Structure 1
């Protein structure tokens, strides 16, 4: 087999139209996952009845099972549930009404939520408890103390792990092709199948993912440097 190195650039250009899909999946999953993770973390740390137990079970189950399993469970299970309810109540809305990328959003947000819950928890635990007590001593409420003092320091401590989670979800988004979402990975397969130049097409996809990863790493490094300028040693 002979490599066609000129085709790598051609394949790279062909993959660019699929780039927004990959970025959308990553951004939506991480954003929604962060909200889920924050709720789960606070409910566990403050031992909210019922919610803390549910949160612990959720984190344990999701982190103990593969992303592909989550996607298939959501895709098949949610479709069956919606179709059943649609038939029972006569709804016009059913599983066909949901775009395929919607299932990826839901499944990957659930996955990201479990992992980010642990990232957020590690960041909060890195903040000295005396910071919270000092906030109470000057009359702040718990919400004010968390927003003004604890969360900024926790964010600084958790930033490297947040970056790793973002990169992990970027790479994990390639599984979306299993539910017919044309992301970078799926587009590479289409390009390769059309031209029978699989190594070149997949290498082009790898280079594109590598470039995105480098951008995330550089962005994180700049943000971390900027945060450390204002850090006065509040994080233990």
Structure 2
């Protein structure tokens, strides 16, 4: 087998069309996971009856099982649920109309939620409890204190872990090919199948993933600098 450098560039150009799908899976999953993670983290921190136990069980189960397993469970269970509800209530829905990317988005959001829960919880616990007490003492409600005082500081403390989670989900998005979603990794396999130059195609995919990872790291560094300027009393 001989390396064909020119095909790396050819594959690179062809793979660009799959970047939006990969980014959609990554960012939608992380954003939804952040919402799920925030709710479960608050339930655990404030020990809300029932919700705290459910949240702990959810986090433990998801973190203790592979991401691919979550995807396959959603892929096989969601159609049964949709068809069952449709039949029960006469809704006229059909699981055949569900786009394949929806399975990946639901599954990865659930997965991201468990990991984000720990990220958010660690960030919230890093904020001094006196901050909340001070906010409540000046008449703020608990939701107001969380939104205005605690969450901004928790975000700053959690930013490195949030960045790692985003990068991890970017790389984990390659599993979407399992349910026939054409992301970067799947596109590389399709491009290479025409002439069996799989090595060159995957090198091109690796370069794109590396570039996207560098962009996330640079964006995180920029946000951290802005936050540090603000914390020192400067002007962002």
> TM-score range, shorter-chain basis?
over 0.9
* Matches of 2:23 and 2:106, distance apart in 1: 15
How far 1:89 moved relative to its partner? 4.0
Relative to the length of structure 2, the TM-score reads 0.96
* Matches of 2:4 and 2:134, distance apart in 1: 65
* Matches of 2:153 and 2:91, distance apart in 1: 48
Please give the per-residue CA displacement for 1:24-47, whole angstroms capped at 9, x wherever unaligned.
001110011000001111111111
* Matches of 2:123 and 2:170, distance apart in 1: 22
* 1:176-191 correspondence to structure 2 within 5 Å: 176-191=176-191
Aligned-pair RMSD on alpha carbons?
1.2
Q: Which residue of 1 aligns with 2:71?
A: 71
* Matches of 2:218 and 2:123, distance apart in 1: 21
* Matches of 2:87 and 2:161, distance apart in 1: 45
Q: Which residue of 1 aligns with 2:221?
A: 221
* Matches of 1:9 and 1:20, distance apart in 2: 19
How far 1:82 moved relative to its partner? 1.9
SS in 1 for 2:193: helix
Structure 1 residues 149 and 232: CA distance shift in structure 2, 3 A: farther
User: Where does the alignment leave 5 or more consecutive residues of structure 2 unmatched?
Assistant: none
* 1:183-202 correspondence to structure 2 within 5 Å: 183-202=183-202
Work out whether 1:151 is the aligned partner of 2:151. Answer: yes
Work out whether 1:25 is the aligned partner of 2:28. Answer: no
User: Where does the alignment leave 5 or more consecutive residues of structure 1 unmatched?
Assistant: none
* Matches of 1:227 and 1:117, distance apart in 2: 22
SS in 1 for 2:49: coil
Please give the per-residue CA displacement for 1:121-161, whole angstroms capped at 9, x wherever unaligned.
00001111111111122221111111111111100000000
Work out whether 1:208 is the aligned partner of 2:208. Answer: yes
How far 1:80 moved relative to its partner? 1.9
**How many residues of Structure 1 are paired with residues of Structure 2 in the alignment?**
233
Relative to the length of structure 1, the TM-score reads 0.96
Q: Which residue of 1 aligns with 2:41?
A: 41
* Matches of 1:47 and 1:41, distance apart in 2: 10
Q: Which residue of 1 aligns with 2:119?
A: 119
Please give the per-residue CA displacement for 1:102-123, whole angstroms capped at 9, x wherever unaligned.
0111000000000000000000
* Matches of 2:129 and 2:85, distance apart in 1: 48
How far 1:90 moved relative to its partner? 3.8
Q: Which residue of 2 aligns with 1:136?
A: 136
Q: Which residue of 2 aligns with 1:160?
A: 160
Q: Which residue of 2 aligns with 1:85?
A: 85
